[in-house]
């Protein structure tokens, strides 16, 4: 009833509206152009429905509601006597009407309501006349054709834009807008065809308008067809890329078609316009699915060249641009890059799969040449996402560790895209702060590079934030952060002095926390502040006053520590006065000179009664003078007032002052080299020490002055070198003078002396060593042959006194030597000495000695996992080790390792190593009549060579950061001991040190050739037997250690991360040329050979040493050199040789220095290093892993007592945990590379992956079962950790493969799952075994292992369900068993016979019944029989 009434009411309303008469007459239907009656009648139809088309340049009028108009018109047309011809007449009339451009424009504009209309809506305007007519179904198709045909006409005329009421209107856009969002499309197929036709004949701008509106014109069911049309058009015209992609983004496209479109778009990235790039990237990233995201992002990463040439994508056109246009183009390029990065950021934020794909793509780029600036930028972007901070930090660390992200790549990124990166400054700063806290030097160095590049590239606000962040790091209390932050600030000041002056107030605030800094850190801080105060071009008077006040207060303080701080600050000011000046001849300002001299006088006066402060003052002054960083006027004052009293304090005339005979310790002249010279002099060491002992209760500066002996001489010879152009003839008598020392027989009677006398003797030995070390440092650079010979003899003197110390130090428990490095805290050194000193007395001290040896093993190879494994292995052989220790001789127990006393020895200068280039020197001796009475050949002997190489190796390990990761110690060692003995080399840059070492590299190579010639001779004498007689002799052992040290030095040098910078490529070329020239007969200049050729020749030269390796440590050192050389070329070219060498190492039975088979923590660490290199460089790692398991470990099982493997003699019971953990870890890494199949993968690719998984599962099964035999705790820990990882990776990567290949490879899948099921059952047994062991740390891993095993069972069930075999699966309870498969009775639950039967038959098997998969009857029967016959071994079941 209601419906009928509503219909009648509507009809009455319509009729009354139709019958209304227009008050203004009939002028609106007059044919203005004189059309015929047909047009007039057709327009009359529109008028009758309520639409009045105006012909007087006025808007069209509508006197009814739009809905009523459309319904009335549709009904009138369908009821018309000439329908459907009347439709054509109406369209023809409309065509005639819109021939006039103005009338056409008004037809596209909104209609207005009649002023006196009572029934129309209250709105002032409605849809245009064309839009209203398009709502009439019978008119729509033909009217659309009419409108679309108008587009080419408008484009060819001047009517593309019309002016209506003062507004310019785009006619093409207005036409297309009429077709948007129609309620219904009558014939969409025809419309698509018409659009295709029109797109081919319209100009570019019109095409863009059409394409942009396509998603709003067509309905969803038409989207696939129009998408095909647009994809074809995309391949034809690159100018339409942006509108096409905009449209495609809003279309519902089938996945297959969308994938093809994405591939087409990706192929155009190489030639795309820069303006179009953001839209393209947006389309690619927004349209990806979870399966396609990795491939799309990888293609985008490879195609999107975000490098210095990126800004010139349209380089062909940009070359012709004017200067102004180039600037505009640069801004435009930057904007496009910014938009592109914003697109990456937005898609990564809202689509997790995109962010994960970016991380995966960057992670998979393992080649150094494949690293891009885009990778770094994307990581900065992703780090700003809260959920991706940790993954990005982890990935970045791994990239830096592997040497893939270099300083050059970072520099290029910041220098070319600084303004773009500034938008991500918060993320960059946060990431830098995290990396700077790392304990790995390589990572902290990369963070330093980020700070420096960001400061250089960003604006003042960012610079201030960077300085504030660095100052915060200094206040963190962590030595690692403090050192890194100070180094960064120092570098910024040296490169941007004027900019840094603005932020001096921030750095000055660190002065409030000097008590928390070491002296080395204080030196860096004072140096920076002095430069900002005295060397900056800007006014630094206020900072100067502050520094003078602070330093004077420190110098006046009675505490030695603060006086030393004041001395460091004083010398820093002196050094800053000449900073940055090209010429030192410019006179110093009188006021400044007076202030500096007053400060120096105050420092000298305040430290005169403190020997430690005096020595530090002289050392600091000598360092400044040596580096030419001091003004000549100040230098002259120092030479006249500080060094003049050396002779009066320490030198005596031997002939004029006879030795006292009443000394409590017998005295004699020792170590004299100028015996026959008249007026011989000597250094009074022991007399001054005895005098100090007698006057211990008195304050006597002279008695304590020996503490500054070495420092005073260092300042003296430095001034002498500066004033005499590098010659030391004026003080050469000190090189050969004797020492007033104790008699030789004192050492044998030392045990009968009093404690104070013993300490005096030991003090004299340390002082003598430091005196000789300073002599060697001073005179080693002299070219005179006689001086060279004396320097070599002094080296031998040092070695002799060290041998005496080794045997005498044990006589004085808790002995603390005199301090020799004065820029460190004395108390910290005492603690170190007291803890490491006793050795060989009691079981506890022996364990400490063992610990120090274990730490020393890290010098050759450091690995945390290895240390853990080794420690646990050693715990199993403690009893045997203790039995061996009981057989040690008394002399061995009293010998002391002097490496722990290294902080108490003076640092050798780098000039010392020029002695390595010294050939044999013939020294003649004469009688009183100058007649030659003998000749002596002096050259560097093996002990002296080892002494020098050991010191050089320590220096390089300290100052050259390797390109691969190397962790710094996290132990809470004292601030002073960490850098003790390296204060001088710390003041040099890494580049300077590397350049100096390059000067010694030819000499090192020469010594290496001589040493290998010695071993070649031994090999020839023993008829090719490597471990024959003579190899264990003393000389052979020393030369073996020399070989290892030389190789270690070369490896450290070539591994320096500075070689990755372009600015240091010349240094690298020189270093490699030195090695390559050893192979060539002709001398080739370093600049002539390319790096690649030099790498190849150097590697060939090193291959010649592989057959002459005497010990395992030497072999590992050679291996590291080969890897370092190969890292500068293509590693794949040398992988085969490296694998062959590592395999030869593993297949050789190595003997230690005692002729016994190698063992212990150091040996295990070396073996672990070799295994890692062996597996990492193999081209078929899976085959190698299977061979190690089936051959090496199988042989170890067959041999009684598991002595060693025949194929791999290095595989013994002691090294088994190393092999086991390494193989498991590598197996996990290998299976990670077996990617799941794609939809486009071929059948052959799937079969290959299935075969790989089969080999991996078989290998894993062997490794799991080995735990039953080698059930040590360390092996159980390894299998729990790696076993869980293996099963987890199989679930993620392997099961998707089985889902797809199960139907066609039923037997292979069944065999694979059976092997893996047996392995998982063994893991269950291990979990049960741990409950018996009650090992808390291992038991904590059981829940996550069982969860993983449970997931595996249900994932197999899901796979069977996919393949419609669910009836072949059931789950039962697995009994708790130990490693040997024995049931754990204490945990057995009493069950009924039925339950027992169910438990025995509980299997996860694959059967043929009720399955769509065809399976052979014989295999099924045999499998079922086997299952019932031996449920303990073959059943497929799990317990949860």
Question: pLDDT tens digits for 923-953?
Answer: 766 555 566 666 778 889 999 999 999 999 9
Q: Has residue 892 got a pLDDT over 60?
A: no
Closest to 188 measured CA to CA, from 122, 141, 155: 141
DSSP per position, 897-921: -GGGGGGGSPPPPGGGGGGGG---E
The mean per-residue pLDDT over the stretch 1062-1066 comes to 84
Query: How confident is the model at residue 273, as a pLDDT?
Result: 79
Q: Which residue has the tokens 């210095």?
A: 308
Which of 261-270, 855-864, 982-991, 1385-1394 has maximum average pLDDT? 982-991
Rounded to 5°, angle at Cα 252 from 251 and 258:
90
Burial class (CB in 10 A: 0-12, 13-18, 19+), 855: middle
Query: How confident is the model at residue 1220, as a pLDDT?
Result: 92
Query: How confident is the model at residue 101, as a pLDDT?
Result: 81
Rounded distance, CA 716 to CA 759, Å?
Answer: 29
Query: How confident is the model at residue 853, as a pLDDT?
Result: 37
Query: How confident is the model at residue 1259, as a pLDDT?
Result: 93
Rounded distance, CA 55 to CA 47, Å?
Answer: 13
Question: pLDDT tens digits for 313-323?
Answer: 444 444 444 44
* Bond before 35 cis per omega within 30 degrees: no
Residues ≥6 apart with Cβ < 8 Å to 293: 353, 354, 356, 357
How would residue 1219 be classed by pLDDT, with cut points 50, 70 and 90? very high
The mean per-residue pLDDT over the stretch 219-245 comes to 84
DSSP per position, 919-988: --EEEEEE-TTS-EEEEEEE---HHHHHHHHHHHHHHHHHH--BSS--BPP-S---HHHHSTT-TTGGGS
Cβ pair 507, 546 in contact under 8 A: no
Rounded distance, CA 316 to CA 297, Å?
Answer: 28
Label the pairing between strands 651-653 and 681-684: antiparallel
> Tokens representing 205?
């701008």
Q: Has residue 451 got a pLDDT over 90?
A: yes
Question: pLDDT tens digits for 396-409?
Answer: 999 988 888 888 88
Cβ pair 847, 915 in contact under 8 A: no
Q: Identify the bridge partners of residue 936 per DSSP, sorted by sequence position.
A: 923
**More confidently predicted of 1371 and 72:** 72
The mean per-residue pLDDT over the stretch 736-753 comes to 88
> Tokens representing 308?
């210095």
Q: Has residue 997 got a pLDDT over 90?
A: yes
Cβ pair 1342, 1330 in contact under 8 A: yes
Rounded distance, CA 682 to CA 1105, Å?
Answer: 47
Q: Has residue 848 got a pLDDT over 50?
A: no
Task: Indicate if the alpha-carbon torsion angle 437, 440, 444, 447 is positive or negative.
Answer: negative
Q: Has residue 204 got a pLDDT over 70?
A: yes
605: enclosing H helix or E strand: helix 590-606
Query: How confident is the model at residue 348, as a pLDDT?
Result: 92
Rounded distance, CA 572 to CA 579, Å?
Answer: 10
> Tokens representing 508?
């000055």
> Tokens representing 111?
């209609």
Which one-letter DSSP state was computed for residue 1388?
A: P
Q: Which residue has the tokens 């299952």?
A: 1427
Rounded distance, CA 207 to CA 230, Å?
Answer: 11
Range in 291-300, 993-1002, 1083-1092 the model is least confident about: 1083-1092
Q: Has residue 1416 got a pLDDT over 50?
A: no
Query: How confident is the model at residue 1385, as a pLDDT?
Result: 65
Query: How confident is the model at residue 540, as a pLDDT?
Result: 63
**More confidently predicted of 712 and 1026:** 712
How would residue 310 be classed by pLDDT, with cut points 50, 70 and 90? very low
692: enclosing H helix or E strand: helix 686-694
Query: How confident is the model at residue 447, as a pLDDT?
Result: 93
Query: How many H-runs (helices) and E-runs (strands) does the chain carry?
Result: 66, 12
Which one-letter DSSP state was computed for residue 440?
A: B
Query: How confident is the model at residue 1024, as a pLDDT?
Result: 60
Query: How confident is the model at residue 10, as a pLDDT?
Result: 36
1269: enclosing H helix or E strand: none
Label the pairing between strands 738-742 and 681-684: parallel
Rounded distance, CA 991 to CA 1064, Å?
Answer: 8
Q: Has residue 108 got a pLDDT over 90?
A: no
Query: How confident is the model at residue 1436, as a pLDDT?
Result: 34
Q: Percent of the chain scored above 70 by pLDDT?
A: 78
Query: How confident is the model at residue 810, as a pLDDT?
Result: 86
Rounded distance, CA 1143 to CA 1208, Å?
Answer: 9
How would residue 1138 be classed by pLDDT, with cut points 50, 70 and 90? very high
The mean per-residue pLDDT over the stretch 36-52 comes to 71
Query: How confident is the model at residue 878, as a pLDDT?
Result: 38
Cβ pair 1275, 1217 in contact under 8 A: yes
Cβ pair 821, 907 in contact under 8 A: yes
Rounded distance, CA 747 to CA 812, Å?
Answer: 13
Residues ≥6 apart with Cβ < 8 Å to 298: 357, 361, 364
Question: pLDDT tens digits for 1070-1120?
Answer: 889 888 887 654 444 444 457 888 888 888 888 888 888 888 899 999 999
Residue 415: how many CB atoms within 10 A of its CB? Answer: 13
- The rounded Cα 314 to chain-centroid distance in angstroms is 34
Residue 927: how many CB atoms within 10 A of its CB? Answer: 10
Q: Which residue has the tokens 């059948």?
A: 1243
- The rounded Cα 12 to chain-centroid distance in angstroms is 82
**More confidently predicted of 409 and 38:** 409
Which one-letter DSSP state was computed for residue 135?
A: T
The mean per-residue pLDDT over the stretch 178-200 comes to 86
SS3 896: coil
> Tokens representing 909?
């200068």
> Tokens representing 1415?
């399976």
**More confidently predicted of 1018 and 526:** 526
Cβ pair 945, 935 in contact under 8 A: no
161: enclosing H helix or E strand: strand 161-164
User: Phi and psi dihedrals of 161, rounded to 5?
Assistant: -125, 135
Question: pLDDT tens digits for 1365-1376?
Answer: 777 666 667 777
Closest to 97 measured CA to CA, from 50, 68, 54, 63: 54
User: Phi and psi dihedrals of 758, rounded to 5?
Assistant: -60, -45
Question: pLDDT tens digits for 147-182?
Answer: 888 888 876 655 555 555 556 677 888 888 888 888
The mean per-residue pLDDT over the stretch 346-359 comes to 92
Rounded distance, CA 761 to CA 743, Å?
Answer: 10
Residue 168 to residues 109, 161, 175, 202, 231, Cα–Cα distance (Å): 13, 6, 14, 21, 33
How would residue 854 be classed by pLDDT, with cut points 50, 70 and 90? very low
125-128 β-sheet, strand order:
51-52, 61-62, 110-113, 125-128
Rounded distance, CA 931 to CA 928, Å?
Answer: 7
Q: Has residue 1200 got a pLDDT over 50?
A: yes
Range in 137-141, 926-930, 1195-1199 the model is least confident about: 926-930
Q: Which residue has the tokens 């010659």?
A: 727
Label the pairing between strands 681-684 and 667-670: unpaired
> Tokens representing 53?
């088309």
Residues ≥6 apart with Cβ < 8 Å to 1254: 1308, 1311, 1312
The mean per-residue pLDDT over the stretch 1379-1408 comes to 48
Q: Identify the bridge partners of residue 742 per DSSP, sorted by sequence position.
A: 667
Mean pLDDT of the chain: 78
Query: How confident is the model at residue 793, as a pLDDT?
Result: 92
- Which residue stretches of 2-136 are H helix? 2-19, 37-49, 66-79, 85-97, 101-108, 129-134
Query: How confident is the model at residue 803, as a pLDDT?
Result: 92
Query: How confident is the model at residue 292, as a pLDDT?
Result: 84
Task: Indicate if the alpha-carbon torsion angle 303, 307, 309, 311 is positive or negative.
Answer: positive
**More confidently predicted of 1410 and 840:** 840
How far apart are the two ends of the chain, measured CA to CA in Å? 68
């Amino acid at each position: 009833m209601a419906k009928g009434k509503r219909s009648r009411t509507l009809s009455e309303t319509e009729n009354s509206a139709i019958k209304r008469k227009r008050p203004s007459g009939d002028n609106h239907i007059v044919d203005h152009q004189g059309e015929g009656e047909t047009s007039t009648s057709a327009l009359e139809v529109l008028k009758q429905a309520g639409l009045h088309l105006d012909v007087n340049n006025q808007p069209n009028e509508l006197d009814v509601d739009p809905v009523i108009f459309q319904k009335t018109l549709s009904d009138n047309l369908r009821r018309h006597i000439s329908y459907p011809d009347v439709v054509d007449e109406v369209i023809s009339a409309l065509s005639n009407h819109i021939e006039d451009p103005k009338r056409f424009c008004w037809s596209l504009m909104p209609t207005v309501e009649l002023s006196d209309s009572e029934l129309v809506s209250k709105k002032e305007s409605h849809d245009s006349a064309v839009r209203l007519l398009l709502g009439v179904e019978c008119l729509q198709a033909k009217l659309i054709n009419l409108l679309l045909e108008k587009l080419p006409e408008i484009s060819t005329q001047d009517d593309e834009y019309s002016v209506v009421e003062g507004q310019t209107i785009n006619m093409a856009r207005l036409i297309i807008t009429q077709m948007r969002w129609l309620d219904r499309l009558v014939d969409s197929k025809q419309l698509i065809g018409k659009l295709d036709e029109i797109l081919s004949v319209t100009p570019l701008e019109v095409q863009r308008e059409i394409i942009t509106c396509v998603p709003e014109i067509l309905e969803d069911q038409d989207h696939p067809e129009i998408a095909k049309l647009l994809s074809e058009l995309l391949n034809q015209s690159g100018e339409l890329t942006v509108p096409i992609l905009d449209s495609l983004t809003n279309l519902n496209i089938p996945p297959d078609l969308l994938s093809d479109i994405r591939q087409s778009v990706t192929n155009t990235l190489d030639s795309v316009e820069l303006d179009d790039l953001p839209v393209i990237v947006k389309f690619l990233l927004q349209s990806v699915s979870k399966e396609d995201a990795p491939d799309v992002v990888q293609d985008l990463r490879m195609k999107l060249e975000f490098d210095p040439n990126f800004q010139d994508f349209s380089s062909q056109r940009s070359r012709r641009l004017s200067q102004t246009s180039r600037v505009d183009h640069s801004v435009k390029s930057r904007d496009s890059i910014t938009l592109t990065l914003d697109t990456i950021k937005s898609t990564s934020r809202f689509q997790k799969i995109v962010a994960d794909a970016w991380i995966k793509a960057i992670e998979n780029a393992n080649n150094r040449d494949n690293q891009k600036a885009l990778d770094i930028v994307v990581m900065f972007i992703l780090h700003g996402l809260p959920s991706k901070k940790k993954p990005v930090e982890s990935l970045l660390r791994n990239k830096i560790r592997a040497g893939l992200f270099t300083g050059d790549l970072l520099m290029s990124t910041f220098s070319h895209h600084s303004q773009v990166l500034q938008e991500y400054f918060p993320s960059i700063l946060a990431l830098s702060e995290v990396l700077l806290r790392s304990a790995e030097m390589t990572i902290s160095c990369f963070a330093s590079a980020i700070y420096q590049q960001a400061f250089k590239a960003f604006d003042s606000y960012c610079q201030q934030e960077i300085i504030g962040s660095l100052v915060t790091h200094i206040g963190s209390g962590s030595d690692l952060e403090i050192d890194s932050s100070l180094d960064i600030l120092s570098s910024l000041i040296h490169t941007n002095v004027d900019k840094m002056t603005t932020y001096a107030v921030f750095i000055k605030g660190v002065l409030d926390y000097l008590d928390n800094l070491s002296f080395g850190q204080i030196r860096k801080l004072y140096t920076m502040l002095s430069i900002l105060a005295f060397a900056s071009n800007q006014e630094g008077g206020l900072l100067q006053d502050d520094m003078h006040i602070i330093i004077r207060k420190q110098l006046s303080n009675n505490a030695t520590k603060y006086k030393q701080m004041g001395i460091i600050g004083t010398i820093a000011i002196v050094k800053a006065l000449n900073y940055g000046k090209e010429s030192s001849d410019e006179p110093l300002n009188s006021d400044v000179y007076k202030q500096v001299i007053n400060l120096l006088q105050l420092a000298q006066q305040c430290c005169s009664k403190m020997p430690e402060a005096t020595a530090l003052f002289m050392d600091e002054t000598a360092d400044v003078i040596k580096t030419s960083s001091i003004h000549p006027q100040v230098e002259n004052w120092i030479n006249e007032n500080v060094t003049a009293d050396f002779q009066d304090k320490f030198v005596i005339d031997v002939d004029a002052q006879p030795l006292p005979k009443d000394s409590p310790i017998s005295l004699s002249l020792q170590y004299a080299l100028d015996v026959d010279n008249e007026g011989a002099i000597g250094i009074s060491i022991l007399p001054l020490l005895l005098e100090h002992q007698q006057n211990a209760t008195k304050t006597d500066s002279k008695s304590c002055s020996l503490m500054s002996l070495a420092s005073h001489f260092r300042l003296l010879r430095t001034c002498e070198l500066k004033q005499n152009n590098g010659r030391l003839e004026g003080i050469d008598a000190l090189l050969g003078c004797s020492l007033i020392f104790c008699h030789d027989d004192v050492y044998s009677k030392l045990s009968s002396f009093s404690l104070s006398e013993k300490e005096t003797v030991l003090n004299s030995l340390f002082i003598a060593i430091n005196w000789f070390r300073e002599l060697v440092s001073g005179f080693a650079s002299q070219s005179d042959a006689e001086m060279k010979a004396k320097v070599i003899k002094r080296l031998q003197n040092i070695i002799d006194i060290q041998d005496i110390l080794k045997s005498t130090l044990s006589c004085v428990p808790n002995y603390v030597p005199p301090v020799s490095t004065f820029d460190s805290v004395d108390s910290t050194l005492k603690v170190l000495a007291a803890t490491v000193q006793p050795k060989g007395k009691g079981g506890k001290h022996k364990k400490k000695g063992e610990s120090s040896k274990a730490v020393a093993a890290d010098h050759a190879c450091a690995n945390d996992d290895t240390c853990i494994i080794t420690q646990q292995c050693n715990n199993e052989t403690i009893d045997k080790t203790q039995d061996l220790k009981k057989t040690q001789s008394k002399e061995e127990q009293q010998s002391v390792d002097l490496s722990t006393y290294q902080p108490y020895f003076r640092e050798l200068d780098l000039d010392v190593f020029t002695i390595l280039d010294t050939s044999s020197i013939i020294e003649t001796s004469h009688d009183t009549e100058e007649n030659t009475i003998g000749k002596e050949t002096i050259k560097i002997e093996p002990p002296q060579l080892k002494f020098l190489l050991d010191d050089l190796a320590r220096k390089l390990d300290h100052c050259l950061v390797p390109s691969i990761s190397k962790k710094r110690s996290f132990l809470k060692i004292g601030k002073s001991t960490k850098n003790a003995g390296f204060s001088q080399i710390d003041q040099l840059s890494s580049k300077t040190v590397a350049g100096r070492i390059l000067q010694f590299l030819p000499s090192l190579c020469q010594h290496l050739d001589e040493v290998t010639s010695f071993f070649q001779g031994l090999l020839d004498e023993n008829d090719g037997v490597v471990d024959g007689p003579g190899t264990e002799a003393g000389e052979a052992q020393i030369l073996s250690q020399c070989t290892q040290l030389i190789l270690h030095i070369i490896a450290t040098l070539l591994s320096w991360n500075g070689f990755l910078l372009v600015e240091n490529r010349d240094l690298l070329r020189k270093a490699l040329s030195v090695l390559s020239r050893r192979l060539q007969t002709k001398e080739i200049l370093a600049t002539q050979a390319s790096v690649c050729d030099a790498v190849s020749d150097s590697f060939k030269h090193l291959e010649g040493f592989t057959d002459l390796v005497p010990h395992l440590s030497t072999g590992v050192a050679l291996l590291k050199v080969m890897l370092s050389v190969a890292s500068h070329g293509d590693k794949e070219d040398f992988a085969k040789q490296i694998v062959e060498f590592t395999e030869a190492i593993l297949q050789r039975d190595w003997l230690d220095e005692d002729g016994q088979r190698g063992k212990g923590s150091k040996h295990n660490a070396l073996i672990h290093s070799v295994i890692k290199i062996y597996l990492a460089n193999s081209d078929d790692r899976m085959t190698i892993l299977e061979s190690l398991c089936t051959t090496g470990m199988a042989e170890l099982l067959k041999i009684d007592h598991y002595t060693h493997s025949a194929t791999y003699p290095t595989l013994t019971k002691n090294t088994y945990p190393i092999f086991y953990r390494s193989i498991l870890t590598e197996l996990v890494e290998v299976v990670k590379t077996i990617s799941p199949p794609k939809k486009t993968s071929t059948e052959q690719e799937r079969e290959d992956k299935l075969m790989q998984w089969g080999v991996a599962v078989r290998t894993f099964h062997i490794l799991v079962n080995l735990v039953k035999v080698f059930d040590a705790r360390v092996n159980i820990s390894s299998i729990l950790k790696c076993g869980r990882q293996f099963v987890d990776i199989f679930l993620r990567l392997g099961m998707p493969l089985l889902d797809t290949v199960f139907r066609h490879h039923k037997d292979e899948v069944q065999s694979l799952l059976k092997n893996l099921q047996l392995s998982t059952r063994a893991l269950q047994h291990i979990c049960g075994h741990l409950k018996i062991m009650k090992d808390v740390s291992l038991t904590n891993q059981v829940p996550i292992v069982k969860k993983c095993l449970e997931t595996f069972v249900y994932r197999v069930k899901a796979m069977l369900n996919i393949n419609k075999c669910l009836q072949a699966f059931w789950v039962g309870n697995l009994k708790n068993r130990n490693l040997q498969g024995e049931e754990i009775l204490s945990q057995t639950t009493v069950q009924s016979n039925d339950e027992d039967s169910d438990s025995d038959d509980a299997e996860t098997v694959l059967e043929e019944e009720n399955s769509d998969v065809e399976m052979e009857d014989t295999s099924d029967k045999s499998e079922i029989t086997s299952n019932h016959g031996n449920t303990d071994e073959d059943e497929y079941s799990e317990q949860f």
